[in-house]
Amino acid sequence: MVKIMYVGFGIVSQGLAEIILEAHSILPTLKKTEIQTVAILDTMKGSKMDANGINMQEILANAQKGDYSLLTENILDVPKAIQEVQADIIIEASFTDIKTGQPAISHIEAALHSGKHVVTTNKGPFAVAYEEIFKLAKERNKTVAIEGTVISGTPIINVLNTGLLGAQITAVSGIMNGTSNYILTEMESGMSYEKALSQAQELGYAEADPTSDVEGLDTLAKVLILGNVVFNTQLLQEEIEVNGISKITLADIKEATSNNMRYKLIGQVWKDSQGKVQGAVRPKLVPMEDSLYGISGATNALKITSSILGDTTIIGAGAGKTETGFALYNDIISIVNG
Ligand SMILES: NC(=O)c1ccc[n+]([C@@H]2O[C@H](COP(=O)([O-])OP(=O)(O)OC[C@H]3O[C@@H](n4cnc5c(N)ncnc54)[C@H](OP(=O)(O)O)[C@@H]3O)[C@@H](O)[C@H]2O)c1
Protein backbone atom coordinates (compact mmCIF):
# COMPACT_ATOMS: atom_id res chain seq x y z
CA MET A 1 0.00 0.00 0.00
CA VAL A 2 1.15 3.57 -0.72
CA LYS A 3 -0.18 6.43 1.40
CA ILE A 4 -0.55 9.86 -0.20
CA MET A 5 -1.44 13.33 1.04
CA TYR A 6 -2.66 16.29 -0.98
CA VAL A 7 -1.32 19.78 -0.32
CA GLY A 8 -3.68 22.06 -2.21
CA PHE A 9 -6.93 20.41 -3.30
CA GLY A 10 -7.85 22.41 -6.40
CA ILE A 11 -8.35 21.45 -10.03
CA VAL A 12 -5.17 19.42 -10.49
CA SER A 13 -5.37 17.45 -7.23
CA GLN A 14 -8.99 16.61 -7.97
CA GLY A 15 -7.94 15.48 -11.47
CA LEU A 16 -5.47 13.06 -9.90
CA ALA A 17 -8.02 11.90 -7.30
CA GLU A 18 -10.51 11.09 -10.08
CA ILE A 19 -7.94 9.09 -12.02
CA ILE A 20 -7.05 7.11 -8.90
CA LEU A 21 -10.71 6.46 -8.09
CA GLU A 22 -11.47 5.31 -11.64
CA ALA A 23 -8.56 2.88 -11.35
CA HIS A 24 -10.26 1.56 -8.14
CA SER A 25 -7.40 2.99 -6.04
CA ILE A 26 -5.06 0.33 -7.38
CA LEU A 27 -1.91 1.59 -9.04
CA PRO A 28 -0.91 -0.33 -12.16
CA THR A 29 2.55 -0.96 -10.75
CA LEU A 30 4.53 -4.15 -10.93
CA LYS A 31 2.82 -5.29 -7.71
CA LYS A 32 -0.60 -3.65 -8.27
CA THR A 33 -0.18 -1.40 -5.26
CA GLU A 34 -3.21 -0.11 -3.38
CA ILE A 35 -3.28 3.66 -2.94
CA GLN A 36 -4.75 5.31 0.14
CA THR A 37 -5.30 9.03 0.80
CA VAL A 38 -4.49 9.91 4.41
CA ALA A 39 -4.65 13.72 4.31
CA ILE A 40 -5.96 16.67 2.35
CA LEU A 41 -4.52 20.06 3.34
CA ASP A 42 -5.99 23.14 1.68
CA THR A 43 -5.91 26.58 3.24
CA MET A 44 -9.10 27.71 1.52
CA LYS A 45 -11.28 24.61 1.07
CA GLY A 46 -10.40 23.05 4.44
CA SER A 47 -8.44 20.00 5.52
CA LYS A 48 -9.01 16.42 6.61
CA MET A 49 -6.74 13.75 8.03
CA ASP A 50 -7.45 10.07 8.62
CA ALA A 51 -4.68 7.53 9.12
CA ASN A 52 -7.10 4.77 8.09
CA GLY A 53 -7.85 6.37 4.74
CA ILE A 54 -10.23 9.10 3.57
CA ASN A 55 -13.35 8.17 1.59
CA MET A 56 -12.37 9.96 -1.64
CA GLN A 57 -15.53 8.96 -3.49
CA GLU A 58 -17.56 11.03 -1.07
CA ILE A 59 -15.09 13.97 -1.14
CA LEU A 60 -15.05 14.08 -4.96
CA ALA A 61 -18.84 13.74 -5.33
CA ASN A 62 -19.22 16.77 -3.07
CA ALA A 63 -16.37 18.67 -4.76
CA GLN A 64 -18.19 18.38 -8.09
CA LYS A 65 -20.99 20.42 -6.49
CA GLY A 66 -18.48 22.89 -5.03
CA ASP A 67 -19.16 21.47 -1.56
CA TYR A 68 -16.08 21.06 0.66
CA SER A 69 -17.96 20.75 3.96
CA LEU A 70 -16.33 17.35 4.66
CA LEU A 71 -12.95 19.11 4.89
CA THR A 72 -13.71 20.16 8.42
CA GLU A 73 -10.27 20.91 9.84
CA ASN A 74 -8.71 24.33 9.60
CA ILE A 75 -4.96 23.77 9.37
CA LEU A 76 -2.90 26.92 9.06
CA ASP A 77 0.59 25.55 9.72
CA VAL A 78 0.74 23.38 6.62
CA PRO A 79 4.50 22.49 6.80
CA LYS A 80 4.05 21.25 10.39
CA ALA A 81 1.07 19.09 9.34
CA ILE A 82 3.08 17.72 6.42
CA GLN A 83 5.83 16.67 8.86
CA GLU A 84 3.40 14.99 11.24
CA VAL A 85 1.19 12.99 8.86
CA GLN A 86 2.33 9.43 8.21
CA ALA A 87 2.42 9.31 4.41
CA ASP A 88 4.77 8.03 1.71
CA ILE A 89 4.22 10.72 -0.94
CA ILE A 90 2.96 14.31 -0.86
CA ILE A 91 1.16 15.78 -3.85
CA GLU A 92 2.19 19.46 -3.90
CA ALA A 93 -0.44 21.28 -5.99
CA SER A 94 -0.85 24.56 -4.15
CA PHE A 95 -0.31 28.12 -5.30
CA THR A 96 2.49 29.03 -7.78
CA ASP A 97 4.79 31.97 -7.04
CA ILE A 98 7.72 32.12 -9.44
CA LYS A 99 9.44 34.98 -7.61
CA THR A 100 9.76 33.32 -4.18
CA GLY A 101 8.71 29.71 -4.83
CA GLN A 102 6.67 29.88 -1.62
CA PRO A 103 4.65 28.44 0.05
CA ALA A 104 5.52 25.34 -1.96
CA ILE A 105 9.26 25.32 -1.10
CA SER A 106 8.45 25.04 2.61
CA HIS A 107 5.95 22.23 1.83
CA ILE A 108 8.55 20.30 -0.17
CA GLU A 109 11.26 20.80 2.47
CA ALA A 110 8.90 19.64 5.23
CA ALA A 111 8.07 16.53 3.21
CA LEU A 112 11.71 15.66 2.48
CA HIS A 113 12.81 16.33 6.08
CA SER A 114 10.12 13.94 7.30
CA GLY A 115 11.02 11.18 4.84
CA LYS A 116 8.34 11.61 2.16
CA HIS A 117 8.65 11.61 -1.61
CA VAL A 118 7.25 14.62 -3.49
CA VAL A 119 5.29 14.77 -6.72
CA THR A 120 4.29 18.20 -7.93
CA THR A 121 2.97 20.34 -10.76
CA ASN A 122 4.05 23.58 -9.07
CA LYS A 123 6.61 25.51 -11.16
CA GLY A 124 7.44 28.09 -8.48
CA PRO A 125 9.93 26.11 -6.35
CA PHE A 126 11.89 24.88 -9.38
CA ALA A 127 12.09 28.30 -11.02
CA VAL A 128 14.00 29.59 -7.98
CA ALA A 129 15.45 26.68 -5.98
CA TYR A 130 15.81 23.69 -8.30
CA GLU A 131 19.36 22.78 -7.22
CA GLU A 132 18.71 23.16 -3.49
CA ILE A 133 15.58 21.00 -3.62
CA PHE A 134 17.19 18.18 -5.58
CA LYS A 135 20.28 18.34 -3.33
CA LEU A 136 18.07 17.92 -0.26
CA ALA A 137 16.15 15.08 -1.94
CA LYS A 138 19.45 13.31 -2.65
CA GLU A 139 20.64 13.76 0.94
CA ARG A 140 17.34 12.35 2.21
CA ASN A 141 17.30 9.58 -0.41
CA LYS A 142 13.83 10.61 -1.59
CA THR A 143 12.38 11.36 -5.01
CA VAL A 144 11.08 14.72 -6.21
CA ALA A 145 9.10 14.21 -9.43
CA ILE A 146 8.13 17.24 -11.53
CA GLU A 147 6.75 15.98 -14.86
CA GLY A 148 3.65 18.21 -14.61
CA THR A 149 5.59 21.45 -14.16
CA VAL A 150 6.24 21.78 -17.91
CA ILE A 151 3.28 21.33 -20.32
CA SER A 152 1.21 19.22 -17.90
CA GLY A 153 0.76 15.50 -18.71
CA THR A 154 2.52 15.66 -22.06
CA PRO A 155 5.79 13.87 -21.28
CA ILE A 156 8.76 16.22 -21.41
CA ILE A 157 10.80 16.00 -18.21
CA ASN A 158 10.90 12.20 -18.30
CA VAL A 159 11.75 12.21 -22.02
CA LEU A 160 14.62 14.65 -21.40
CA ASN A 161 15.86 12.70 -18.37
CA THR A 162 15.69 9.24 -19.90
CA GLY A 163 14.61 8.96 -23.55
CA LEU A 164 17.10 11.53 -24.83
CA LEU A 165 20.02 10.70 -22.53
CA GLY A 166 23.24 11.01 -24.52
CA ALA A 167 21.61 12.78 -27.50
CA GLN A 168 23.74 15.93 -26.85
CA ILE A 169 20.91 18.42 -26.64
CA THR A 170 21.87 21.91 -27.82
CA ALA A 171 18.51 23.71 -27.54
CA VAL A 172 14.91 23.36 -26.46
CA SER A 173 12.31 25.78 -27.72
CA GLY A 174 8.57 25.76 -27.84
CA ILE A 175 5.06 26.91 -27.17
CA MET A 176 4.52 26.40 -23.46
CA ASN A 177 1.51 28.58 -22.71
CA GLY A 178 -1.91 27.58 -24.05
CA THR A 179 -3.59 30.92 -23.32
CA SER A 180 -1.15 32.93 -25.44
CA ASN A 181 -1.23 30.44 -28.26
CA TYR A 182 -5.03 30.40 -28.23
CA ILE A 183 -5.13 34.22 -28.45
CA LEU A 184 -2.61 34.35 -31.31
CA THR A 185 -4.50 31.64 -33.20
CA GLU A 186 -7.84 33.47 -32.85
CA MET A 187 -6.23 36.76 -33.94
CA GLU A 188 -5.27 35.08 -37.22
CA SER A 189 -8.97 34.84 -38.06
CA GLY A 190 -9.38 38.59 -37.39
CA MET A 191 -10.47 38.57 -33.72
CA SER A 192 -9.15 41.40 -31.55
CA TYR A 193 -6.63 40.69 -28.76
CA GLU A 194 -9.18 41.72 -26.09
CA LYS A 195 -11.97 39.50 -27.51
CA ALA A 196 -9.62 36.51 -27.88
CA LEU A 197 -8.40 36.98 -24.29
CA SER A 198 -11.93 37.12 -22.87
CA GLN A 199 -12.83 34.01 -24.91
CA ALA A 200 -9.77 32.24 -23.45
CA GLN A 201 -11.01 33.20 -19.97
CA GLU A 202 -14.52 31.90 -20.70
CA LEU A 203 -13.07 28.59 -21.88
CA GLY A 204 -11.04 28.30 -18.65
CA TYR A 205 -7.63 28.57 -20.37
CA ALA A 206 -6.71 31.94 -18.88
CA GLU A 207 -6.76 32.96 -15.25
CA ALA A 208 -8.95 35.85 -14.05
CA ASP A 209 -5.63 37.74 -13.91
CA PRO A 210 -3.98 36.63 -17.16
CA THR A 211 -0.77 38.67 -16.72
CA SER A 212 1.47 35.67 -16.08
CA ASP A 213 0.21 33.95 -19.27
CA VAL A 214 0.23 36.85 -21.73
CA GLU A 215 3.33 38.65 -20.41
CA GLY A 216 5.44 35.50 -20.60
CA LEU A 217 6.06 34.83 -16.88
CA ASP A 218 4.47 31.38 -16.96
CA THR A 219 6.71 30.49 -19.92
CA LEU A 220 9.72 31.99 -18.09
CA ALA A 221 9.18 29.57 -15.18
CA LYS A 222 9.25 26.64 -17.62
CA VAL A 223 12.39 27.99 -19.32
CA LEU A 224 14.13 28.16 -15.91
CA ILE A 225 13.14 24.55 -15.17
CA LEU A 226 14.33 23.36 -18.59
CA GLY A 227 17.68 25.13 -18.07
CA ASN A 228 18.20 22.89 -15.06
CA VAL A 229 16.84 19.68 -16.52
CA VAL A 230 18.66 19.94 -19.86
CA PHE A 231 21.87 21.82 -19.04
CA ASN A 232 22.17 21.48 -15.27
CA THR A 233 22.26 25.28 -15.04
CA GLN A 234 20.26 27.63 -12.82
CA LEU A 235 19.54 30.62 -15.05
CA LEU A 236 18.78 33.88 -13.26
CA GLN A 237 15.31 35.31 -13.87
CA GLU A 238 16.63 38.86 -14.12
CA GLU A 239 19.10 37.88 -16.86
CA ILE A 240 16.43 36.44 -19.14
CA GLU A 241 14.75 38.65 -21.72
CA VAL A 242 10.97 38.24 -21.31
CA ASN A 243 8.43 39.69 -23.70
CA GLY A 244 4.80 38.63 -23.89
CA ILE A 245 2.17 38.90 -26.61
CA SER A 246 0.12 41.83 -25.35
CA LYS A 247 1.70 44.31 -27.77
CA ILE A 248 1.09 42.25 -30.90
CA THR A 249 -1.53 43.92 -33.10
CA LEU A 250 -3.92 42.55 -35.70
CA ALA A 251 -1.83 44.40 -38.30
CA ASP A 252 1.30 42.49 -37.16
CA ILE A 253 -0.57 39.20 -37.45
CA LYS A 254 -1.88 40.10 -40.90
CA GLU A 255 1.58 40.98 -42.14
CA ALA A 256 2.99 37.73 -40.78
CA THR A 257 0.24 35.72 -42.50
CA SER A 258 0.90 37.41 -45.84
CA ASN A 259 4.55 36.29 -45.50
CA ASN A 260 3.47 32.70 -44.70
CA MET A 261 4.56 33.09 -41.10
CA ARG A 262 2.86 32.96 -37.71
CA TYR A 263 3.59 34.68 -34.41
CA LYS A 264 4.15 32.23 -31.55
CA LEU A 265 5.18 32.95 -27.96
CA ILE A 266 8.42 30.97 -27.81
CA GLY A 267 10.31 29.98 -24.68
CA GLN A 268 13.86 28.90 -25.41
CA VAL A 269 16.91 27.60 -23.65
CA TRP A 270 20.10 26.94 -25.58
CA LYS A 271 23.90 26.77 -25.46
CA ASP A 272 25.57 29.62 -27.34
CA SER A 273 28.79 29.37 -29.38
CA GLN A 274 30.86 29.93 -26.20
CA GLY A 275 29.03 27.09 -24.46
CA LYS A 276 27.09 29.49 -22.20
CA VAL A 277 23.51 28.52 -21.41
CA GLN A 278 21.00 31.21 -22.40
CA GLY A 279 17.25 31.60 -22.04
CA ALA A 280 14.61 33.83 -23.61
CA VAL A 281 10.86 34.29 -23.83
CA ARG A 282 9.54 36.32 -26.76
CA PRO A 283 7.04 36.33 -29.60
CA LYS A 284 8.76 34.99 -32.72
CA LEU A 285 7.83 34.77 -36.35
CA VAL A 286 7.69 31.07 -37.18
CA PRO A 287 7.94 30.00 -40.83
CA MET A 288 5.66 27.39 -42.41
CA GLU A 289 8.34 24.69 -42.52
CA ASP A 290 8.94 24.88 -38.73
CA SER A 291 7.31 22.10 -36.69
CA LEU A 292 5.86 24.76 -34.33
CA TYR A 293 4.00 26.58 -37.15
CA GLY A 294 0.96 24.27 -37.11
CA ILE A 295 0.47 24.23 -33.32
CA SER A 296 -2.83 26.00 -32.86
CA GLY A 297 -5.28 26.84 -30.07
CA ALA A 298 -4.41 25.84 -26.51
CA THR A 299 -2.06 23.04 -27.63
CA ASN A 300 1.60 23.16 -26.54
CA ALA A 301 4.73 21.81 -28.25
CA LEU A 302 8.43 21.54 -27.50
CA LYS A 303 11.15 21.14 -30.10
CA ILE A 304 14.28 19.50 -28.75
CA THR A 305 17.38 19.97 -30.88
CA SER A 306 20.23 17.53 -30.41
CA SER A 307 23.47 16.76 -32.22
CA ILE A 308 22.53 13.13 -32.69
CA LEU A 309 18.79 13.24 -33.51
CA GLY A 310 18.36 16.72 -34.99
CA ASP A 311 14.90 18.02 -34.07
CA THR A 312 12.43 15.99 -32.00
CA THR A 313 9.08 17.70 -31.45
CA ILE A 314 6.63 16.69 -28.74
CA ILE A 315 3.07 18.00 -29.05
CA GLY A 316 0.21 17.77 -26.57
CA ALA A 317 -2.02 19.33 -23.95
CA GLY A 318 -0.34 22.00 -21.81
CA ALA A 319 -2.97 22.27 -19.09
CA GLY A 320 -6.23 20.79 -17.84
CA LYS A 321 -7.61 18.86 -14.89
CA THR A 322 -7.15 15.31 -16.18
CA GLU A 323 -4.07 16.11 -18.27
CA THR A 324 -2.17 17.63 -15.34
CA GLY A 325 -3.57 15.08 -12.87
CA PHE A 326 -2.12 12.41 -15.13
CA ALA A 327 1.39 13.86 -14.78
CA LEU A 328 1.10 13.35 -11.00
CA TYR A 329 -0.34 9.84 -11.46
CA ASN A 330 2.51 8.85 -13.77
CA ASP A 331 5.11 10.20 -11.33
CA ILE A 332 3.52 8.27 -8.43
CA ILE A 333 3.64 5.04 -10.43
CA SER A 334 7.33 5.65 -11.22
CA ILE A 335 8.12 6.17 -7.52
CA VAL A 336 6.24 3.05 -6.48
CA ASN A 337 7.99 1.05 -9.21
CA GLY A 338 11.30 2.31 -7.79
N1 LIG B 1 -4.53 23.80 -13.79
C2 LIG B 1 -3.61 23.38 -14.66
O3 LIG B 1 -3.93 23.00 -15.79
C4 LIG B 1 -2.16 23.35 -14.27
C5 LIG B 1 -1.21 22.89 -15.19
C6 LIG B 1 0.14 22.79 -14.82
C7 LIG B 1 0.52 23.18 -13.55
N8 LIG B 1 -0.42 23.66 -12.67
C9 LIG B 1 0.02 24.04 -11.31
O10 LIG B 1 -0.51 23.09 -10.38
C11 LIG B 1 -0.80 23.75 -9.14
C12 LIG B 1 -2.27 23.57 -8.80
O13 LIG B 1 -3.05 24.12 -9.84
P14 LIG B 1 -4.64 24.15 -9.76
O15 LIG B 1 -5.11 24.53 -11.11
O16 LIG B 1 -5.12 22.89 -9.14
O17 LIG B 1 -4.84 25.38 -8.76
P18 LIG B 1 -6.12 25.69 -7.84
O19 LIG B 1 -7.35 25.10 -8.43
O20 LIG B 1 -6.07 27.14 -7.53
O21 LIG B 1 -5.82 24.86 -6.50
C22 LIG B 1 -4.80 25.17 -5.59
C23 LIG B 1 -5.38 25.04 -4.19
O24 LIG B 1 -4.33 25.12 -3.22
C25 LIG B 1 -4.75 26.00 -2.19
N26 LIG B 1 -3.62 26.59 -1.50
C27 LIG B 1 -2.98 27.77 -1.71
N28 LIG B 1 -1.98 27.93 -0.85
C29 LIG B 1 -1.97 26.83 -0.05
C30 LIG B 1 -1.18 26.43 1.06
N31 LIG B 1 -0.24 27.22 1.56
N32 LIG B 1 -1.43 25.24 1.62
C33 LIG B 1 -2.43 24.46 1.16
N34 LIG B 1 -3.24 24.80 0.14
C35 LIG B 1 -3.01 25.97 -0.47
C36 LIG B 1 -5.57 27.03 -2.93
O37 LIG B 1 -6.33 27.81 -2.03
P38 LIG B 1 -6.51 29.38 -2.42
O39 LIG B 1 -7.51 29.40 -3.50
O40 LIG B 1 -6.95 30.01 -1.14
O41 LIG B 1 -5.18 29.93 -2.86
C42 LIG B 1 -6.39 26.15 -3.86
O43 LIG B 1 -7.53 25.62 -3.21
C44 LIG B 1 -0.42 25.23 -9.33
O45 LIG B 1 0.86 25.41 -8.79
C46 LIG B 1 -0.45 25.40 -10.84
O47 LIG B 1 0.42 26.41 -11.29
C48 LIG B 1 -1.75 23.75 -13.00
pLDDT at 223: 98
Q: Could you tell me if residue 158 is inside a domain?
A: no
Show the domain range for 78: 2-153+321-336
3-state secondary structure of 274: coil
**105 in the same domain as 79:** yes
Query: Which of 16, 18, 43 to mutate to test ligand 1, by most ligand atoms within 8 A of the CB atom?
Result: 43
For residues 186 and 205, the answer to whether their CB atoms sit within 8 Å is no
In terms of Cβ atoms closer than 10 Å to its own Cβ (0-12, 13-18, 19+), residue 167 is middle
**149 in the same domain as 168:** no
**29 in the same domain as 137:** yes
- For the cut 90, the answer to whether the pLDDT of residue 31 exceeds it is no
Q: Could you tell me if residue 300 is inside a domain?
A: yes
Question: In CATH, what number is assigned to the domain containing residue 189?
Answer: 3.30.360.10
Closest CA to 264 of 301, 312, 313, 304: 301
Q: Identify the bridge partners of residue 264 per DSSP, sorted by sequence position.
A: 284
Cα 166 from chain centre: 25
The pLDDT tens digits for 243-276 are 999 999 999 999 999 999 999 999 999 999 999 9
Q: Choose, from 222, 264, 303, 321, the residue flagged as catalytic.
A: 222
- Domains of the chain: total: 2
Closest CA to 297 of 147, 149, 150, 187: 187
* CA count, 13 A, side-chain hemisphere, 324: 22
- For the cut 90, the answer to whether the pLDDT of residue 30 exceeds it is no
**218 in the same domain as 122:** no
Closest CA to 23 of 14, 32, 31, 10: 32
**138 in the same domain as 243:** no
Q: What values do phi and psi take at 41, rounded to 5?
A: -120, 115
Instruction: Using DSSP bridges, classify how beta strands 89-92 and 299-306 pair: parallel, antiparallel or unpaired.
Output: unpaired
Residue nearest to atom 12 of ligand 1 (CA): 93
Q: Could you tell me if residue 182 is inside a domain?
A: yes
Report how far residue 219's alpha carbon sits from residue 18's, in angstroms, rounded to the nearest whole number: 28
Question: In CATH, what number is assigned to the domain containing residue 11?
Answer: 3.40.50.720
Query: Which of 9, 40, 78, 94 to mutate to test ligand 1, by most ligand atoms within 8 A of the CB atom?
Result: 94
Residue nearest to atom 45 of ligand 1 (CA): 122
**168 in the same domain as 116:** no
**89 in the same domain as 10:** yes
**48 in the same domain as 176:** no
Q: Could you tell me if residue 172 is inside a domain?
A: yes
Q: How far, in Å, from the CA of 177 to the mean position of ligand 1?
A: 17
**37 in the same domain as 142:** yes
Catalytic-residue membership of 65: no
The pLDDT tens digits for 82-134 are 999 999 999 999 999 999 999 999 999 999 999 999 999 999 999 999 999 99
**144 in the same domain as 28:** yes
**192 in the same domain as 136:** no
